[in-house]
Amino acid sequence: CRVRHYKFNVVMKNTTRLCSSKSIVTVNGKFPGPTIYAREGDNVLIKVVNHVKYNVSIHWHGIRQLRTGWADGPAYITQCPIQPGQNYVYNFTITGQRGTLFWHAHILWLRATVHGAIVILPKLGVPYPFPKPNHEAVVILAEWWKSDTEAVINEAIKSGLAPNVSDAHTINGHPGPVSNCPAQGGYKLNVEQGKTYMLRVINAALNEELFFKIAGHKMTVVEVDATYIKPFQTDTIVIAPGQTTNVIVNANKNSGKYMVVASPFMDAPIAVDNVTAIATLHYSGTLSNNPSTTLTSTNTPPKNATPIANNFLDALRSLNSKKYPAKVPIKIDHSLLFTVGLGINPCPSCKQGNGSRVVASINNVTFVMPTIALLQAHFSGIKGVFTADFPGNPPVVYNYTSTTPPANMGTTSGTKVYKLSYNDTVQLVLQDTGIIAPENHPIHLHGFNFYQVGKGLGNYNPKVDPKNFNLVDPVERNTVGVPSGGWVAIRFRADNPGVWFMHCHLEIHTTWGLKMAFLVENGKGPNESLLPPPKDLPKC
């Protein structure tokens, strides 16, 4: 194992996309930002220096951060933000993980442009559990707004309504030739006949679940969220914000150019950015300026293609081999049901929205961001920052997926955490609600991977549904899509002391309050407690 040093200068950079320019927040002037390479077991030190006028914090999405919650990154949860002119060294060791993850800003909407890949290779000499691909490439999917994203969100907060949708999707930073700027080039992956390519696909978009497809080529899926799965072939993958998916593509054509697309998946009746991002798989020897070599195109799935999404998602199974066994908790200490969804609250000061605003909640609690980081309050015993009374079940039992809620929903707001003892096992059912409209919610848990043991439509039935749970080889992830008008059940072991954020990875839902935190107490053993904070931890 070795130590890897990185320096992240957070700087403004003038960037042109969709035929217009704007100044964006970047790391080292790059969009997307630099890739972090490490091996399982390495110690990674990233010095982040804030040269912009915004507060900044960076999250290493999917890194377990065993006992090092101080390096997790969500602003006001595990650290105070890095203020303009300040810096902070994120210091963590990669334990028991290998694969593709990503990093992103974790404050306001900065992650729109402040994100990049994390590639964790297996320990030296340890092979992949599938044939080694000849080449590898990172493929980051994201969104682009022509206007300033901070302005977009501030306007939404002021009005109480939904924000403007983005103007385009991007593949490795480029929308490609799309109708609102047809002449621009897109990302090009050069391939050679007979070689295999592992694409590390990352969805870094703020608010859009995406389909990803390559004309004329099948993909073999080998890993999601940095956990190995049983390989299978597919035409299309679906990937939610916060998720990563490794696929192997066999370049089995003689020559030519093949379209690579990222298009939206949304099975709820809401406005989405419908612009398909376009990249090219380009065989060597194919002249790019030869007009006779036309781009082989592919049809994109319609945005409400739920069966295509389900076919893909239902095929995901843990590899569960001798070397990589699935460790699904069987005996459960906490059996929880959390409703996730949107609601309407009065808002006399709102300029639009008829005196009401959209809010979001978990178990009818709209999370209020604290002004001191929860982890600091927990570690130093600072009182009055949070309460440990987050409900383990909905305060009101009703038909969750109907659009007519009861008159009194018992809604509250507050900075509430749910407390777990070290090594407790948790079964958590995430139930979508239809109060405004059913919608898919990619829920991300910091500090842990979990197993997705069950999934269904309608209301979760605790008497019937557990009989169909997969406790043998369920997929292991850090972000799971709660189906629109349905539920998922996950299980995890609380073997990581600290305060761990859980939230919808659609950034607008997080902004509206669809977030909470688990507090995991120290264990009694020698390596079972949160380490002390680093000296340079930012102050609020």
Q: Which residues of 370-391 are buried (b: 16+ CB within 10 A; e: fewer)?
A: bebbbbbbbbeeeeebbeeebb
Tell me the residue number closest to ligand C2O, measured at CB.
61
Indicate the Cα dihedral angle 377, 206, 64, 70, nearest 10°: -30
Binding status of residue 67 toward ligand C2O by CB under 6 A:
no
- Which C-beta is closer to ligand C2O: that of 90 or that of 501? 501
Strand partners, 264: 210
Judged by beta carbon, residue 263 or residue 478, the one nearer ligand C2O is: 478
Figure out which of the listed residues 81, 116, 176, 242 binds ligand C2O, where binding follows CB under 6 A.
Answer: 242
**To 10 degrees, the CA torsion angle through 280, 285, 290, 291?**
-50
Least Å distance, CB 80 to ligand C2O, is 16
Are 220 and 201 within 8 A, CB to CB? no
Question: Residue 115 or residue 378: which is nearer to ligand C2O going by CB?
Answer: 115
Cα separation, 504 vs 501, in Å, equals 10
Closest among 203, 299, 190, 296 to 245, alpha carbons compared = 203
User: Binder to ligand C2O among 104, 200, 213, 416 (CB under 6 A)?
Assistant: 104
Please identify which residue in 33, 69, 74, 497 interacts with ligand C2O, judged by CB under 6 A: 74
State in angstroms the smallest separation of the CB of 193 from ligand C2O: 37
Span interacting with ligand C2O, options 243-251, 360-368, 486-494, 497-505, rule CB under 6 A = 497-505
Report the C-alpha dihedral over residues 498, 502, 507, 511, rounded to 10 degrees. Answer: -80
Residue from 22, 61, 213, 509 in contact with ligand C2O (CB under 6 A): 61
Query: How big is the CA angle at 402 (ends 301 and 360), to the nearest 5 degrees?
Result: 75
With contact defined as beta carbons under 8 Å apart, do 74 and 60 qualify? no
User: Could you tell me which stretch among 147-155, 247-255, 499-507, 517-525 binds ligand C2O (CB under 6 A)?
Assistant: 499-507
CB of 505 to ligand C2O, least distance (A): 6
User: Closest CB to ligand C2O among 74 and 186?
Assistant: 74
Per-residue x/- track, 188-227, ligand C2O (CB under 6 A): ----------------------------------------
How far is the C-alpha of 116 from the C-alpha of 65, rounded, in Å? 18
Residue matched to tokens 């072939």: 233
Binding residues with ligand C2O: total (CB under 6 A): 11
Q: Which of residues 435-494 bind ligand C2O (CB under 6 A)?
A: 444, 446
Task: Name the phi and psi angles at 95, rounded to 5.
Answer: -110, 120
Distance in Å, CB of 516 to ligand C2O, minimum = 12
Based on CB atoms, which residue is closest to ligand C2O, 64 or 505? 505
* CB of 508 closer than 8 Å to CB of 521: no
**Binder to ligand C2O among 17, 106, 213, 303 (CB under 6 A)?**
106
Give contact residues for ligand C2O (rule: CB under 6 A). 59, 61, 74, 104, 106, 242, 444, 446, 501, 503, 505
